[in-house]
């Protein structure tokens, strides 16, 4: 049974920090590119950051580059998102995502989401 379980969301004031974690199980984590997405009320889900299977390659949305850092631990099957200098516009539900490709077959997994609220 595939599971992506996020944690670490909460309420924080502007300028503060939060660290999101996502624990993966039920699939070969080391074969999956991982990502964090977010969805604010009334908006479409958007890609925040991606990390390759090895952790060597990372990409960020322009809106978070320099403030957020994605990382992974392939021993513990965890992907993290360190969020610094948070802004009210970062308020959203954050989702963990995994994509595993084997030949022409693609499997995609989603977590249930964790709420991040940035407000004074």
Q: What pLDDT was estimated at residue 9? A: 97
pLDDT in tens, 48-91: 999 999 999 999 999 999 999 999 999 999 999 999 999 999 99
Query: Mind listing the pLDDT tens digit for each residue in 41-56?
Result: 999 999 999 999 999 9
* pLDDT at site 107: 94
Judged by phi (left if over 0) then psi (alpha if -120 to 50, else beta), residue 36 lies in beta
pLDDT at 61: 98
Element (H, E) at 47: strand 46-51
Does the pLDDT of residue 102 top 90, yes or no?
A: no
Reported confidence tier of residue 117, pLDDT bands at 50, 70, 90: very high
Predicted confidence at residue 34, as pLDDT, reads 98
Q: Residue 69: what pLDDT? A: 98
Q: In percent, how much of the chain has pLDDT > 70?
A: 100
Backbone φ, ψ for residue 90 (5° rounding): -85, -5
Quote the pLDDT of residue 49. Answer: 98
Burial classification of residue 88, based on how many CB atoms lie within 10 Å of its CB (0-12 exposed, 13-18 middle, 19 or more buried): exposed
């Amino acid at each position: 049974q595939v599971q992506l379980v996020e944690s670490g969301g909460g309420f924080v004031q502007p300028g503060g920090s939060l660290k999101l974690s996502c624990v993966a199980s039920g699939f070969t984590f080391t074969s999956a590119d991982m990502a964090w997405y977010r969805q604010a009320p009334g908006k479409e889900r958007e890609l925040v950051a991606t990390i390759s299977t090895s952790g060597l390659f990372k990409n960020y949305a322009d809106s978070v580059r320099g403030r957020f850092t994605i990382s992974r631990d392939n021993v513990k099957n965890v992907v993290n998102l360190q969020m610094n200098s948070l802004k009210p516009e970062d308020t959203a539900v954050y989702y963990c995502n995994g994509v595993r490709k084997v030949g022409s077959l693609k499997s995609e997994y989603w977590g249930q989401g964790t709420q991040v609220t940035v407000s004074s």
